[in-house]
Amino acid sequence: MNEPPVREGDVLAGKYRVEKVLGVGGMGVVVAATHLQLEERVALKFLMKDALDSADAVARFAREARAAVKIKSEHVARVIDVGTLETGAPYMVMEYLEGRDLSQVIQFQGPLPPEDAVEYILQACEAIAQAHVLGIVHRDLKPANLFLIHRPDGTAAVKVLDFGISKVTPAKGSSSDNAMTRTRTVMGSPLYMSPEQMTSTRDVDGRTDVWALGIILYELLCGQPPFTADTMPQLCGLILSGPTPSIRAVLPSIPPGLDAVLRRCMEKDPARRYPNIAEFTGALAEFAPRRARVSIDRVARVIQSASMTTSGVIVASTPGAQAQTGGSWTDSKLGIDAKPSRKAVWVALAATAVLAIAAFFIARRGQVPVEATVVLPTPVPAAVPPPAQVTPQDPMPLAVPPVASSVANPSPSAQGNGLREAVPVPAKPEPPRPAAKRPPAAQHTAATAAPAATPTTKPSDLFDDRK
């Protein structure tokens, strides 16, 4: 193991005090440090002295910083600053992460529950989807580069690390980016490399990341990668031409549908894999916990905001462009950067105002004054006793008392139903009526023995001017 070039207490770049060394590799070192002015803990990554002689190592270091700072995702370790140390070594300052990577999680906990494993992969897909939209292919996805932290609310979150060997497409990168990766240079971790990456590291696209994510999910579920061998040639032979393993042969409890998703990720021919990250996350939706559905929605929106080539490399969308993802997004109209002209906006606002004014005056013309409206309850028929018996000798029936021609107060039942109080209506004076002749005493007694008829009033009679 290489000796770290710094010690606890050293001050780097005049403002970062080293707290402890987090890791040392063949080309670089990562330390935990504290910003002296801000009193903020950060992670500082810089190259070893021997690596400074390699132009490729320096270029990859710079590429990692550029790629990470472009991807605006919760699931990518944020780059805060870059610079050069007194020794001439470039460095980058990143957010400090507390937790462990997924390779350590498997080592200490063993295989993960399917829901947790799928959720972690979906969170990683959020970061990879944004990278693909920017034309960046990671090319080194593995459990050690997926770091598991816990948010302030206690929920778990995955951070994608190490974009050092990422590939930038010509549309987004420079000629130096493409020349840096030569066809004969093997870059990446063999256990998670796709067949096309083993044969030509330069000629890969987003589908090589889909392969790696499928391999990682397989390992999270059963504790071991799908392709293992004693030697590197044997491993390469299995990946290039060996049979695609089924996870159900190792873990029969895995649903057949999830096994089918993994087998499609590990197709030797890239054209037979999922064409993009959105298709992959959509296939995992059935096996994801409800809390992870937000990741599927975010990936779909990211991919919908870009147009894709048939090879799975995403490029920024142009107005009127449509996604080409094998039929999944072909019906979506893209062009999210297109903005309506100022003239069109003012015309739309003016038309809306005219319609609103016209509707107001039309409503005013057709409105009935409230004071001219009388709302009466629907009369309920009451049981009326039979009329008094009148003998043929009686020249005329008993006189019925005149009905009041105004409604002063509605019935209590009407008020209780929320109806408006009836407005008094002036009653017309009625002409005097001749007094009714009283029948003979015997007949009168017989007629009045029965109860008097209850007077009833129809609403229409209250306003009949003919009375």
* Topology (CATH) of 11-95: Phosphorylase Kinase; domain 1 (3.30.200)
- What string of DSSP letters covers 349-391? HHHHHHHHHHHHHHHHHTPPPGGG----PPPPP-PPPPPPP--
- Answer yes or no: same fold for 11-95 and 100-316: no
User: What is the DSSP-derived secondary structure letter of residue 84?
Assistant: E
Residue 266 CA neighbour count, 13 Å, CB half: 27
- The helix or strand, by DSSP H or E, that contains position 82, with its residue range, turns out to be strand 79-84
Alpha carbon distance 27, 47 (integer Å):
6
Q: What is the pLDDT of residue 148?
A: 96
- Calpha distance 406→429 (Å, rounded): 11
pLDDT(123) > 90: yes
CATH number for domain 100-316, candidates 3.20.20.450, 1.10.510.10, 3.40.50.720, 3.30.365.10 = 1.10.510.10
List Cβ neighbours of 55 (8 Å cut-off, separation of 6 or more): none
For residue 406 the two structure tokens come to: 């105004």
**What pLDDT, on the 0 to 100 scale, is given for residue 221?**
97
Q: Indicate whether this model's pTM tops 0.75.
A: no
Instruction: Please tell me the predicted confidence (pLDDT) of residue 127.
Output: 93
List the chain domain ranges.
Answer: 11-95, 100-316
Q: Give the residue numbers marked as catalytic.
A: 140
Cα separation of 179 and 451, whole Å?
Answer: 115
Helix/strand number for the chain, H first, E second: 13, 13
Q: Is pLDDT at 177 greater than 50 in this prediction? A: no
* Beta-ladder partners of 34: 17, 41
pLDDT tens-digit readout, 56-100: 788 888 877 887 788 888 999 888 888 888 888 888 899 999 999
Burial class of residue 327 in the structure, from the number of CB atoms within 10 Å of its CB (0-12 exposed, 13-18 middle, 19+ buried): exposed
